[in-house]
Structure 1
């Protein structure tokens, strides 16, 4: 029997809605997200994760603010970032802010940190991209030190130095996960530290990540970490509706809006064609789109093949009408999750 966790990740996307031809406002998207978190809790999902961005097409620049609001009227769901761009943030403030979420949720807060695949925060907060990797390494070490020590003494190079100062409030627990897009060096470094890892699986062959998961677990065990500490999660873009055809049709427009927006600012991305979309939503693709049975089957296959402990469906990618998103969350919690959980509960 294996206990698995199922949840949602979101960036609070604000792109053109197909039905209206208008962009949803940041303030409305933020308010809608609180209702989504509360519904995800009500239908029994395990996790709700909010990502940090500093772009017009995403509403959320401060995940902990959303999570704090979502904590108040929820009871069981874990609340985490996905991700906090640690390289361009102050580890002291990150810890303090999430400690507040932890208090409001009675111990349900987590932090998921990453280097940041979007780099808008670096010039915004005065950081140099030439320090991209070094910033993350030092700040992660500092955050871990703060978590373990109420009185902090720290000698910083790219961070501040602290001489025996207390960091408050203290969290009840506050697990720290590390996210990566699939870089081997990142996998090795996370394994050596014995931290739980999350892979962003949004393109290509999703099962190619198996070698990275195997390397993570092997290196982590060799570094002396228990299997209990070496947790693996993943997130993939996806959507759920009553039928496969309806889900794929409804999801194409919002996904294309987001992908095309990113392609305008990133040379490594191209605008989304219908042909590419068909492949990405196929059995070989990384997207998990369809009716509840199809989505459950694809989640099971991915979790089993990669030996995942946690899976997050990125819901939505691009903006969909709020009522459609609530319906998708309801289908996920009430129909998809029971199938997946039963499968792994009965697996020997």
Structure 2
């Protein structure tokens, strides 16, 4: 019998939104907390830790690769990933150099999730036009993939100067840095990832998983038509998450943080948000709901339910959202590693 190696991880976007009384965590403390989370995840035996890219005063992760580099020297086994890298507005050569260096620092533990991101501040910050949204992503993704192939690269495109016998250094420990494509709800993004034979990181926030099953179906179909070996490809599911000893406790500890996080984030984007009480959120613990909040047993059941729909082999949770206390985050990481993971592994490898 072939063993199914299902992976578990956590990630942070590094937001520093005001709490219920308007207090904002200092940037230095927020970064230290992210590093501590990664250390806990590594010590607990989780598989991957991610840090997302944002370029705003209410986030601390504009230089996310540097944070991952600090984590690399504080951990031993855990894979380190972006979650995600906004390749549309970055120089792929610079991003590749950063992550190749990270791979050297971590002794070959680096991965990268490339995408377009939810926030758009990086477009004006780095002088690129939203009018070129799709073309930028396609061209820069293609260049990043080409940089993996050779040490000396020749390339030309529309949005940056050509590369002529360009020496791309350093080279990573791995022959190629594993690439994932971040996908929200856009079918074209899922199809692109499948056609290119790249892994897909599916961001799921709420609702019924059946509503997004078409995305994974499109991904697997596109990969198959393109002739890729499906056994070499992976899908991950990422999203808002929290664990406690009981499902009711998890919801009651999570709901205030969720409301604070969502209210601030949507207000900044000019969108209304209506707080959800803990009682209203309780049904989200069911296996056929996406929100990854509950007891260890409930989350394990949810992951197994989604595995049947998506065929995914990785779960990554955002446990620190909304100023959740570090003590509770540590507890949630422990439950994921020592309760959820064993249940899922046993069930998938009967």
TM-score interval for Structure 1 and Structure 2 normalised by the shorter chain: over 0.9
Residue 297 of structure 2 corresponds to residue 316 of structure 1: no
Residue 205 of structure 2 corresponds to residue 205 of structure 1: no
Aligned pair partner of 2:253 in 250, 271, 280: 250
Residue 15 of structure 2 corresponds to residue 13 of structure 1: yes
Q: Which has the higher contact order (CA 8 A, sep 6+)?
A: 1
**Unaligned stretches of 5+ in structure 2?**
none
Deviation at 1:268, TM superposition (A): 5.8
Deviation at 1:278, TM superposition (A): 4.4
Partner SS, residue 49 of structure 1: strand
Deviation at 1:143, TM superposition (A): 0.3
What is the rounded CA distance, in whole Å, between the counterparts of 2:322 and 2:148 in structure 1? Answer: 34
- Distance of aligned partners of 1:156 and 1:316 in 2 relative to their CA distance in 1, 3 Å threshold: same
Residue 32 of structure 2 corresponds to residue 31 of structure 1: yes
Contact persistence 2:243–2:332 (CA under 8 A)? yes
Residue 328 of structure 2 corresponds to residue 327 of structure 1: no
- State the Cα RMSD in Å: 1.8
Contact persistence 1:263–1:271 (CA under 8 A)? no
Structure 1 stretch displaced more, 161-170 or 260-269:
260-269
Partner SS, residue 154 of structure 2: strand
Counterparts of residues 171-210 of structure 1 (less than 5 Å): 171-173=172-174, 174-210=177-213
Deviation at 1:303, TM superposition (A): 2.3
Deviation at 1:184, TM superposition (A): 0.8
- Distance of aligned partners of 1:21 and 1:278 in 2 relative to their CA distance in 1, 3 Å threshold: farther
Contact persistence 1:138–1:159 (CA under 8 A)? no
Deviation string 1:270-306 (CA, Å, 9 cap, x unpaired) is 3443276445454443211112222222222222321
**Unaligned stretches of 5+ in structure 1?**
none
What is the rounded CA distance, in whole Å, between the counterparts of 1:267 and 1:285 in structure 2? Answer: 27
Partner of 1:4: 6
Partner of 1:336: 340
TM-score, normalization: structure 2? 0.93
Partner SS, residue 123 of structure 2: helix
Counterparts of residues 131-150 of structure 1 (less than 5 Å): 131-150=132-151
What is the rounded CA distance, in whole Å, between the counterparts of 1:267 and 1:228 in structure 2? Answer: 43
Partner SS, residue 264 of structure 1: helix
Contact persistence 1:209–1:306 (CA under 8 A)? no
Deviation at 1:17, TM superposition (A): 4.0
Partner of 2:157: 156
Partner SS, residue 224 of structure 1: coil
Structure 1 stretch displaced more, 229-238 or 119-128:
229-238
Partner SS, residue 311 of structure 1: strand
Contact persistence 1:207–1:306 (CA under 8 A)? no
